[in-house]
Structure 1
């Protein structure tokens, strides 16, 4: 087995552990009815090796009452930061869902790099905004935004961290899922590598472990399920 495939298998194993640890939290949540006729889209991408917002991975357009954006990825050992960009088409209250390993810090920034919300409890007003964002009470203006994902202060950069994020603005009829893999030189963009297939297989196995939970209702359940179909 190649070092690359072995690394992905380890990441899948770690992700499965993270999902299992989140099951109890999901079981405590109230259930909401799944929107009807939801179209699901999925893509697999390689993140850039760049460490600035200029190299952010595009996860789509957040349209109020229409789209929901999901991303599943990890901070590999010695990988310091991930960036994801998206566009908000109209002013409204947004919701951010987050699951995965402990020690992951998420910041929402404007196109100019101004921090709007921060999961760090020491971030003052920006932490208050993060709590509002997590509960769907933070209003965002239309425009371009970036999610910055790092480790919490004091977390060893050698520790890999798996995470999944979800953005929505009210109801939705289109679900967009992004599996963001680690950057690798020479990868073909036109076919699944063995590592990518292993990642998808692992996500499917993780979802299978959660059959006792009714999926598709809450945002957290969608992230845990990681059920993908279609392409975009």
Structure 2
């Protein structure tokens, strides 16, 4: 990965991602002696959202980065793993089966995993992950087919990288050509953010978990909560287990 400190803005990062993907796809196509690389189709419409990540960094609380539509949309997400932040999660949906391509930029030591709706790891950038690493190489070169459905990206540090080291990254997904470009700037959770939002059922669960003091309630202790704040920070034991 390339250090994000060399980029002046998100547009530059997205352009670098596109160049990296095109280069990887071109190498594969030259080896296969045929095919055309995906790219911008006519005038591209650009969209950007800036959101705070959930205070709970688990797959059910993943940040939504959009819908991957074949020959239509390209999804980009830019963020960083703060010190002591174990992982980030992003969700997206695919509308039809097709060969997807993933590109990355950012600091060295960042691990990218693609999971299906059930949490099964389909592709993994870690070189020691066996078949899922092979799948990741195919995904990078546009040779991995994703079926219609929901998917999650997990961004974490490699095992030998200290958790105190902050890591910046950018990830891009596309399926063929694109005419709409969607950028997501994912910021750290705001202090005091409630990860359960307005979901009454989750709020009720949180109330049960937060009942009593943190010293007398095992669930609260697991969540890393205090008497005034029942849900955990992103580095809590619960988050590490999920």
Same fold (TM over 0.5): yes
SS in 2 for 1:129: helix
**Greater relative CO (CA pairs within 8 A, separation 6+):** 1
Q: Which residue, out of 143, 152, 174, partners 1:146?
A: 152
Which residue of the partner structure matches residue 102 of structure 1?
Answer: 108
SS in 2 for 1:133: helix
Q: CA deviation at 1:16?
A: 1.7
Contact 1:18 1:101 survives alignment (8 Å):
no
2:22 paired with 1:16 = no
Give the Cα–Cα distance (whole angstroms) in 1 for the partners of residues 173 and 38 of structure 2: 17
CA RMSD of aligned residues (A): 2.7
Paired residues, number? 173
Which residue of the partner structure matches residue 89 of structure 1?
Answer: 95
Contact 2:40 2:179 survives alignment (8 Å):
no
Which structure 1 residue ranges, 4+ long, deviate > 6 Å from structure 2?
30-33
Give the Cα–Cα distance (whole angstroms) in 2 for the partners of residues 50 and 33 of structure 1: 35
- Structure 1 gaps of 5+ residues are 1-13, 188-232
What are the Cα deviations for residues 77-106 of structure 1, in whole angstroms up to 9, with x where unaligned? 111100000000000000000010000000
- The structure having more radius of gyration, on CA atoms, is 2
Q: CA deviation at 1:34?
A: 4.4
Which residue of the partner structure matches residue 239 of structure 2?
Answer: none
Q: Which residue, out of 83, 99, 105, partners 1:77?
A: 83
2:189 paired with 1:183 = yes
Normalising by structure 1, we get a TM-score of 0.68
